[in-house]
């Protein structure tokens, strides 16, 4: 079929427009394309160079800063230690002058915390139980009055230290506890230490006897229950070694407190153990105080610890909790300690990343500028070739339809995926980026399908773990004793409420024979699964030891035997506080041993008191061969005993305030003497929960209530 003139003109115009577009537009487009390619290649190379340079520069700057920080901290520690040592040496020199020439000093009578309440900030003397029992000789009394001339200097030093003390080999101690709130009693005036403290048995005293001059102990728990470091040294009189004097310091006196966003610090002693640490919460488990880092499972950290113990200065990258850190360390002059500082790698490279982002942003702006130039040139070409716009638009519409067809397929497949069909695939064969995009899309669906299967496996594993934990809770509950057959001589109830699924508290009761009832309550030093396992072992060992002693052994011997068995293979370092008692049902005699546990409350009518503490009452599981002491009381008809763990008195509310012994005493006092033991436990638990409010239970709660009715009830 022949073409008409109109069609021929149309074809001619189309051909001319197309040729004009090709001759004018292609060179421009080609130039922009080549320029864009070159810029893209250079951009990648520039980005790599910038990233490498900025990262290396940031690392060098961080290394210099961290080494400087480590040396500064080491210098601060040395300065602080030297100041503390000079104060101890000054105090020792003054004491030496007093002991060499006591006649030149007045006789001073300090308040005695053994017999009276002495407030903090006041110098006082305290007698060991042995000295208080034997009494003072005239010579020893004159020595104490002469040494009391140190009081002025000790009070002055107490402004800078938690405690200033002199411990004599004769059994007396002169102390000044740092002042607290008005009316706060000194430590030796408190019931916990007033009749039991003996400086000669303390670790700092034994350490001080072995030193030649002022030396520092490790971190340990002071008489106030808080961590301290002591600087101690021996002193001498005409007969030789007379005792140990020193001061107690807070660890923060030597190492600045960790600030969020700053450097994290820790200190190793000469044995490679963590002496002090100020670390963020997430790292405290990796570097706990007392741990030998030379034996760490982290190779890089163990290597650095060995270098630190050798007194080296260095810088090393370590990996903790799947995060990379930079560690810098330096020795502290005049001390056998080494200071380490840690900083996260991502904080070091943060500045480099920001600089790289800024430069890449500028590269993106340059790329956008080229695109705008290309658009402007294209519009100019289209303006000149006005007659070709329609033809180009038509061709563009057809081309758009051609290129959009694969995109529609991808959109449809995406809809299938959104409905959960991860096996959906799309077939595009265009030979360009759309085909690559389709391949990536298919790969994504494969990954989503795999991820869906992994989630299902993870869900099943989580359900299994939850079931095992529930079984552990059931098993632990089954370890607690079943109610005993009722007897007319007594009424008893007990309950345990763990803070986690499984806990470390337990109670037990059983008949030794027809006339004796054994009751036990205990608290393991930890919570969770490890505490539950130790609890099961402790319960079994205690019960077997007490039952095996039924043939003639004492209750104290049975508890000591249980302690030896628990301490023998206690690799985890757990311990348990125990209160064990034997009630003679016919006479009301109640014999008990307290192994570091809260003393039970005894309620006689309207009066209330705590069972007297025993002098030998260590916790179980820490050391073999420890002696235990038994005491006994006689229960009258209607007398009640309330045994509990510290989860009751130390239950916290949302503000961190504890329930306290006072609230417990008040609640028990309000309860009627006719209340059944079960009602007592329910009322105490309700009061504890009312105090805690919305706060999470912080510790296991265990209670045992016993009411003695009498043999002729």
485 backbone φψ class: left, alpha, beta (φ>0; ψ -120 to 50) = beta
Q: What is the pLDDT of residue 713?
A: 47
Characterize 24-56 residue by residue with b for buried, 16 or more Cβ atoms within 10 angstroms of its Cβ, and e for exposed: ebeebbeebeeeeeeeeeebeeeeeebbeebbe
* Alpha carbon 448 to its chain's center: 38
Q: What span, in angstroms and rounded, lies between the C-alpha atoms of 602 and 632? A: 13
Q: Of 533, 596, 534, whose CA–CA distance to 566 is shortest?
A: 534
Exposed/middle/buried for residue 76 (C-beta within 10 Å: 0-12, 13-18, 19+): middle
* HSE of 380, CA atoms in CB hemisphere, 13 A: 10
**More confident: 324 or 348:** 324
pLDDT tens, position by position, 114-166 = 999 999 999 999 999 999 999 999 999 999 999 999 999 999 999 989 999 99
Backbone angles phi, psi at 307, to 5 degrees: -65, -40
pLDDT tens, position by position, 397-430 = 565 566 567 767 777 777 777 776 767 777 777 7
pLDDT tens, position by position, 641-684 = 999 999 999 999 999 999 999 999 999 999 888 889 999 999 99
User: Diameter of the chain by CA atoms?
Assistant: 144
> Going by C-beta distance under 8 Å and a sequence separation of 6 or more, which residues neighbour residue 531?
502, 503, 504, 524, 525, 574
Q: What span, in angstroms and rounded, lies between the C-alpha atoms of 315 and 64? A: 9
Quick check: 686 pLDDT over 80?
Answer: yes
Question: In degrees, to the nearest 5, what angle opens at C-alpha 152 toward C-alphas 151 and 154?
Answer: 60
User: Would you state the structure tokens that stand for residue 686, as one six-digit string?
Assistant: 């309700």
Q: What is the pLDDT of residue 5?
A: 47
By residue count, the chain amounts to 713
Other C-beta atoms lying within 10 Å of the C-beta of residue 612: 12
Q: Are 640 and 706 in contact (CB under 8 A)?
A: yes
Least confident of 71-75, 316-320, 364-368, 578-582: 364-368
User: Tokens 């153990």 belong to which residue?
Assistant: 273
Q: What span, in angstroms and rounded, lies between the C-alpha atoms of 75 and 317? A: 23
pLDDT tens, position by position, 581-594 = 999 999 999 999 99
Exposed/middle/buried for residue 66 (C-beta within 10 Å: 0-12, 13-18, 19+): buried
Q: Are 708 and 638 in contact (CB under 8 A)?
A: yes
User: Would you state the structure tokens that stand for residue 60, as one six-digit string?
Assistant: 């060098």
Per DSSP, 596 falls in state B
> Going by C-beta distance under 8 Å and a sequence separation of 6 or more, which residues neighbour residue 554?
630
In whole angstroms, how far apart are CA 11 and each of 3, 8, 20, 188?
10, 5, 14, 112
Per DSSP, 71 falls in state H
Q: What is the pLDDT of residue 56?
A: 67
Q: What is the pLDDT of residue 493?
A: 95
Q: In 3-state terms, the chain is what percent helix, strand and coil (to 5)?
A: 50, 20, 30
**More confident: 529 or 163:** 163
User: Computed over its alpha carbons, how large is the radius of gyration of the chain?
Assistant: 40
CA 160, 161, 162, 163 dihedral sign is negative
pLDDT tens, position by position, 348-397 = 667 666 666 776 677 677 667 766 765 776 677 567 656 665 665 565 55
Q: Taking all residues of the chain, what is their mean pLDDT, rounded to a whole number? A: 82
């Amino acid at each position: 079929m022949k073409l008409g003139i109109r069609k021929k003109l149309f074809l001619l115009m189309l051909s001319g427009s197309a040729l004009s577009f090709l001759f004018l537009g292609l060179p421009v487009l080609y130039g922009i394309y080549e320029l864009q390619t070159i810029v893209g290649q250079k951009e990648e190379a520039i980005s790599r160079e910038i990233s490498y340079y900025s990262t290396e520069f940031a690392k060098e700057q961080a290394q210099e800063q961290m080494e400087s920080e480590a040396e500064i901290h080491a210098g601060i520690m040395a300065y602080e230690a030297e100041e503390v040592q000079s104060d101890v040496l000054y105090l020792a020199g003054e004491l030496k002058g007093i002991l060499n020439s006591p006649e030149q000093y007045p006789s001073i009578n300090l308040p005695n915390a053994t017999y009276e309440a002495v407030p903090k900030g006041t110098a006082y003397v305290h007698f060991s139980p042995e000295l208080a029992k034997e009494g003072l000789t005239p010579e020893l009394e004159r020595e104490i009055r002469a040494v009391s001339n140190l009081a002025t200097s000790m009070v002055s030093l107490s402004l800078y230290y938690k405690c200033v003390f002199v411990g004599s080999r004769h059994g007396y101690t002169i102390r000044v506890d740092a002042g607290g709130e008005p009316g706060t009693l000194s430590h030796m005036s408190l019931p916990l230490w007033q009749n039991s403290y003996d400086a000669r048995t303390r670790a700092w005293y034994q350490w001080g006897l072995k030193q030649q001059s002022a030396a520092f102990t490790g971190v340990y728990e002071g008489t106030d229950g808080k961590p301290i470091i002591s600087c101690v040294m021996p002193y001498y009189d005409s007969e030789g070694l007379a005792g140990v004097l020193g001061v107690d310091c807070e660890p923060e006196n030597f190492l600045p407190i960790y600030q969020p966003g700053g450097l994290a610090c820790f200190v190793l002693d000469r044995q490679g153990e963590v002496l002090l640490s100020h670390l963020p919460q997430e790292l405290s488990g990796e570097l706990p105080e007392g741990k030998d880092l030379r034996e760490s499972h982290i190779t890089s950290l163990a290597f650095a610890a060995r270098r630190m113990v050798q007194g080296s200065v260095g810088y090393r990258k370590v990996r903790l909790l799947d995060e990379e850190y930079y560690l810098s360390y330096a020795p502290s002059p005049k001390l056998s300690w080494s200071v380490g500082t840690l900083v996260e790698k991502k904080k070091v490279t943060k500045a480099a990343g920001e600089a790289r982002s800024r430069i890449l942003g500028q590269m993106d702006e340059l790329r956008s500028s080229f695109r705008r130039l290309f658009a402007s040139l294209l519009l100019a070409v289209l303006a000149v070739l006005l007659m070709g716009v329609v033809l180009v638009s038509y061709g563009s519409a057809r081309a758009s339809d051609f290129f959009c067809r694969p995109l529609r397929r991808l959109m449809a497949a995406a809809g299938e995926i959104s409905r959960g069909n991860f096996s959906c695939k799309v077939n595009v064969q265009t030979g360009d980026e759309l085909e690559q995009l389709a391949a990536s899309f298919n790969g994504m669906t494969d990954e989503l399908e795999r991820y869906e299967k992994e989630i299902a496996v993870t869900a099943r594993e989580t359900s299994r773990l939850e079931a095992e934990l529930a079984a552990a809770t059931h098993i632990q509950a089954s370890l607690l004793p079943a109610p005993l057959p009722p007897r007319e001589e007594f009424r008893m109830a007990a309950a345990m409420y763990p803070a986690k699924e499984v806990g470390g508290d337990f109670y037990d009761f059983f008949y030794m024979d027809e006339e004796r009832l054994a009751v036990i309550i205990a608290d393991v030093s930890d919570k969770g699964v490890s505490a539950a396992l130790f609890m099961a072992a402790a319960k079994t060992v205690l019960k077997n030891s007490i039952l095996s002693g039924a043939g003639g052994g004492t209750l104290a011997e049975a508890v000591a035997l249980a302690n030896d068995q628990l301490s023998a293979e206690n690799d985890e370092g757990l311990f348990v506080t125990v209160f064990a008692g034997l009630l003679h049902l016919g006479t009301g005699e109640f014999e008990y041993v307290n192994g570091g546990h809260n003393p039970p409350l005894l309620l006689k009518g309207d009066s209330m008191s705590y069972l007297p503490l025993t002098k030998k009452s260590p916790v179980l599981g820490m050391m073999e061969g420890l002696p235990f002491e038994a005491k006994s009381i006689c229960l009258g008809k209607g007398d009640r005993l309330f045994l509990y763990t510290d989860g009751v008195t130390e239950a916290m509310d949302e503000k961190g305030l504890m329930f306290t012994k006072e609230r417990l005493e008040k609640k028990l006092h309000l309860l009627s003497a006719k209340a059944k033991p079960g009602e007592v436990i329910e009322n105490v638990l309700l009061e504890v929960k009312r105090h805690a409010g919305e706060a999470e239970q912080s510790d296991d709660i265990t209670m045992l209530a016993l009411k003695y009715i009498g043999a002729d009830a």
